[in-house]
Amino acid sequence: MVYVTDVEAAGDKVEAVTFPEADEVVNHYPIVAVKDSSHADLAQQWIDLVLGDGQKVLADAGFGPPAS
Query: How confident is the chain (68 residues) per 10-residue block, as mean pLDDT?
Result: 84 89 83 92 96 93 82
pTM across the whole model: 0.67
- pLDDT value, residue 9: 87
Question: Rounded to whole angstroms, how far apart are CA atoms 34 and 37?
Answer: 5
The residues, ordered by sequence, that sit 6+ positions from 43 with a Cβ below 8 Å of its Cβ are: 33, 34, 37
* DSSP secondary structure letters along 1-68: ---HHHHHHHGGGS-----GGGGG----------TT-TTHHHHHHHHHHHHTTHHHHHHHTT--PPP-
